[in-house]
Amino acid sequence: MRYRSGMNAIDVATVLCGGMKAVYANRLRAIQRIDGTSVVTVPQPTLEGGDISIFVETTDNAIIIHDNGRTAMELESLGIVRRSQVERLARERGCDYESGRLQAVVPVGGDLVSPALRLADAIKTVSDLGLML
């Protein structure tokens, strides 16, 4: 749908939202790599120019979703290592920064989508930090 004369702000916002959902939905994907790792790709750019990758691990009691340390590696490659800043940004978004990776732990029966969205936000925010420094 295109912008037409007489459309109010909510009409435009609704059209915009619908169009963006279509674009993002086509770019979201889940794959299993040859090594058995499962990865969800989110259409948000990282410092290195690719999309955000969320790695999925299962344990008996929880699901661990994480960035596999990629965000920290990107920052280190730029000479930006501020662990305290990364930890703070992760906490503010409901995630953890453990062993060099941004992550969220979801207990069995827990909601998967909200932690995944928070993790994607944390990855994007930390990556943006690298662009600002």
DSSP string, 70-121: HHHHHHHHTT---HHHHHHHHHHTT-EEETTEEEEEEETT--SHHHHHHHHH
What would the two tokens of residue 66 be? 């994480």
pLDDT tens digit at each of 133 positions of the chain: 566 667 777 877 787 777 777 777 778 889 988 988 899 998 888 777 788 999 999 888 899 999 999 888 887 777 765 777 888 888 999 999 998 899 999 988 898 889 999 999 999 988 877 655 5
Give CATH for domain 28-132. Answer: 3.30.1460
Q: How far is CA 69 from CA 10, 60, 96, in A?
A: 40, 23, 12
Q: What is the pLDDT of residue 68?
A: 94
What would the two tokens of residue 49 be? 């120019």
Q: CA-CA-CA-CA torsion for 94, 99, 101, 102, nearest 10 degrees?
A: 0
Q: How far is CA 102 from CA 26, 29, 48, 92, in A?
A: 25, 20, 17, 12
Q: What is the pLDDT of residue 2?
A: 62
